[in-house]
């Protein structure tokens, strides 16, 4: 994937792109890439919800995403445990960016945006549709494909593919096995 360079406009603001990113996908990277070209500063915020079970720890997701965005001087990566509107206010961001693939994503994301707006009406949510080639990518689906031995190389960056396959093996499962 290549970076989008030489865009003729920049919205001149700080935006946050929150998510669990478990694992980060090419669809996530597409949104990061495009947002980095549009906004002055992009803060990728990795959710660390103690009530959720993740394949990768927050630190592992941080490492993968930091590697993915290393060439972007205007992208920072942070781990956050708490309300995303609190993080936005803390760093002075006025916009939460959310990627959407389909109407089902939009329904969920719209509800979240309304909740965030109720919590802090100064923070806006912008929706960015993913590129059509990443339309079907869902982190949970990618984990399942890998578990059953499917090829995920076109779905995730190489560092993520290596880590997903290593994690499956570490859990005592061989990609493609039933148990």
Which residues are tagged catalytic? 28, 52, 101, 139
Residue 125 host element (H or E): strand 124-129
Q: Are 156 and 166 in contact (CB under 8 A)?
A: no
| Strand partners of residue 105 | none
HSE, side-chain direction, 13 A CA sphere, residue 123 = 28
Distance CA 121, CA 97 (A): 15
Torsion over CA of 87, 92, 94 and 96, rounded to 10 degrees? -30
* DSSP output for 51-116: TS--SS-HHHHHHHHHHHTTT-TTEEEEEE-S-HHHHHHHHT--EEEEEE-SHHHHHHHHHHHHHH
């Amino acid at each position: 994937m290549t970076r989008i360079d030489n865009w003729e406009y920049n919205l001149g603001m700080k935006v946050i792109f929150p998510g669990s990113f478990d694992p980060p996908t090419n669809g996530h990277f597409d949104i990061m890439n495009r947002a980095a070209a549009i906004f002055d500063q992009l803060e990728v915020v990795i959710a660390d919800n103690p009530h959720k079970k993740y394949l990768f720890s927050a630190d592992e997701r941080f490492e993968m995403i930091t590697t993915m965005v290393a060439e972007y001087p205007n992208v920072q990566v942070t781990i956050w445990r708490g309300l995303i509107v609190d993080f936005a206010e803390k760093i002075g961001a006025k916009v939460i960016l959310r990627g959407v693939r389909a109407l089902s994503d939009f329904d969920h994301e719209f509800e979240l945006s309304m909740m965030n707006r109720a919590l802090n009406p100064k923070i806006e949510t912008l929706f960015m549709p993913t590129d059509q080639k990443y339309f079907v990518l869902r982190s949970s689906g990618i984990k399942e494909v890998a578990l059953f031995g499917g090829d995920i190389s076109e779905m995730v960056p190489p560092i993520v593919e290596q880590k997903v396959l290593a994690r499956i093996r570490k859990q005592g499962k061989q990609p493609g096995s039933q148990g």
